[in-house]
């Protein structure tokens, strides 16, 4: 009579793809006949499992050990996870007599990356382009982050996209742009390393070369022109906060003498504001000059010449730092007012005593009042504020000089 039993040493086991697992089992012949027991394996991992020995011969009342071997390949098709594994033994003397052993088998997960960069060398003056291809040879889906580096930290890398999501056996590509600083005008060969890092920690690296072409003379000249233009823009171009400070502003105010008369010294102060010191130039009429008054201020100074009718002249204000100029048209004008007298007398033709007889004379004098004003206009690039006022009464026959200002900007 055939009878037997099988006892596995463990009810469950795990195995890593590419590795191996063994589960010993003890077979006991409880029958009364000599028998031979043949195992068969079924389940998801059955294709990678076998028993050793393949058949177990036993005398009645004896036992023997057989071992289950499981070696799944390290391939993306070997999916990770748990599954049942059934081992059934059949008595050769009586196929109706069998014994089944059920085990729980677990295939472990793994991630294995491979990276390839094409082309292996790229040529450019400032930048180069590559394609980084990453493939997942693991048996689970993973997120892969790509990065780049060079030994001198001169290259800046841009990846599009920077993260790849790869399933088992899948591959994807990202575009790599490398921008490198130059240290020489000639050819340079820079080795770059691109890395692919999975969320499990698995890393794959690949190397390529960025060959910087010789910097031609026209490139050097173009770069120099661009740099010079940028520097000039920041120096000369007024910004929102410094617009008023970078453009000279002129203000004409009355000084020690508000009324300009021939023979009387005048002092009209010239004030301006800019980034640097402001210089004034011009040639006023009536023997007036542009100089510095006692307080150290720029001023229109001098004593107007008698009989001067004035005239129009251009006053230039220039910022010494930015070379910004403003032109002010100043008009120095003179007006003359005279008085007439009428007298009536009666005289006799005889002697000088009759000249002392009655005479009446009436004279009328007219007084004139002039004021010195300066007014300014505002141009599109500057704000000019000018103000000066004074009034005086002059004697008959005198000339009064007034100053008026308009502005233009260059």
Kindly report, residue by residue over 377-406, the tens digit of the pLDDT. 333 233 333 333 333 333 344 444 455 444
pLDDT for the residue numbered 216: 58
Please report the pLDDT score of residue 215 as a whole number. Answer: 62
pLDDT digits (tens, 9 = 90+) for 346-370: 333 333 333 333 333 333 232 333 3
DSSP, collapsed to helix, strand or coil, labels residue 250 as: strand
Q: What pLDDT sits at residue 410?
A: 45
295-324 residue pLDDT tens: 778 888 788 777 776 777 788 888 877 778
- The pLDDT, as a whole number, for residue 356 is 34
The CB-side HSE value for 213 (13 A sphere, CA atoms) comes to: 11
CA dihedral (211, 217, 220, 225) in degrees, to 10, reads -150
**For residue range 247-258, what is the model confidence (pLDDT) as tens digits?**
445 555 544 334
User: In this structure, what DSSP letter does residue 138 have?
Assistant: S
pLDDT digits over 46-100, tens only? Answer: 999 999 999 999 999 999 999 999 999 999 999 999 999 999 999 999 999 999 9
Going by pLDDT thresholds of 50, 70 and 90, the confidence category of residue 222 is: low
What average pLDDT does this structure show over 253-273?
61
The model's pTM: 0.49
Distances from the Cα of 151 to the Cαs of 93, 175, 189, 193, 209, in angstroms? 74, 21, 12, 9, 12
Cα–Cα distance for residue pair 177/274, rounded to 1 Å: 46
Per DSSP, the three-state class of 73 is coil
The pLDDT assigned to 399 comes to: 40
Quick one: pLDDT band at residue 294, thresholds 50, 70, 90? confident
Phi–psi pair at 97, nearest 5 degrees: -95, 120
24-55 in b/e burial notation, b at 16+ Cβ within 10 A? ebebbbebeeebebebebeebbbebbebeeee
- Alpha-carbon Rg for the chain in angstroms: 54
């Amino acid at each position: 009579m055939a009878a037997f039993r099988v006892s596995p040493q463990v009810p469950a086991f795990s195995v890593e793809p590419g590795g191996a697992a063994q589960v010993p089992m003890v077979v006991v012949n409880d029958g009364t006949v000599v028998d031979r027991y043949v195992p068969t394996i079924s389940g998801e991992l059955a294709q990678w499992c076998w028993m050793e020995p393949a058949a177990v011969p036993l005398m009645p009342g004896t036992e023997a050990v057989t071992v289950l071997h499981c070696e799944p390949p390290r391939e993306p098709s070997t999916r990770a996870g748990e599954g049942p594994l059934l081992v059934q033994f059949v008595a050769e003397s009586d196929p109706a007599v069998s014994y089944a052993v059920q085990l729980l088998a677990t295939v472990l997960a793994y991630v294995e990356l491979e990276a390839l960069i094409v082309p292996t060398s790229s040529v450019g003056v400032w930048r180069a382009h590559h394609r980084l291809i990453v493939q997942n040879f693991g048996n689970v889906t993973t997120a892969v982050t790509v990065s780049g580096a060079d030994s001198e930290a001169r290259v800046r890398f841009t990846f599009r996209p920077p993260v790849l999501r790869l399933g088992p056996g899948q591959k994807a590509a990202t575009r790599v742009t490398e921008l490198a600083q130059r240290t020489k005008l000639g050819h340079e060969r820079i080795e770059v390393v691109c890395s692919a890092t999975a969320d499990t920690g698995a890393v794959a690296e690949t190397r390529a070369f960025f060959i910087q072409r010789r910097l031609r003379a026209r490139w050097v000249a173009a770069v120099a022109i661009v740099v010079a233009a940028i520097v000039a823009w920041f120096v000369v171009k007024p910004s929102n906060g410094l617009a008023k400070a970078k453009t000279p502003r002129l203000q004409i105010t009355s000084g020690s003498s508000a009324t300009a008369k021939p023979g009387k010294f005048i002092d009209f102060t010239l004030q301006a504001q800019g980034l640097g010191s402001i210089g004034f130039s011009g040639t006023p009429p009536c023997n007036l000059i542009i100089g510095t008054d006692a307080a150290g201020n720029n001023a229109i100074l001098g004593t107007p010449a008698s009989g001067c009718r004035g005239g129009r002249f251009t006053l230039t204000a220039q910022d010494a730092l930015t070379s910004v100029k403003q032109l002010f048209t100043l008009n120095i004008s003179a007006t003359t007012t005279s008085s007439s007298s009428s007298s009536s007398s009666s005289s006799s033709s005889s002697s000088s005593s009759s000249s002392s007889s009655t005479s009446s004379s009436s004279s009328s004098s007219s007084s004139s009042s002039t004021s010195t004003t300066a007014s300014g206009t505002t141009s599109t690039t500057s704000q000019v504020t000018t103000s000066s006022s004074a009034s005086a009464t002059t004697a008959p026959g005198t000339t009064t000089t007034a100053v008026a200002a308009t502005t233009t900007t260059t």
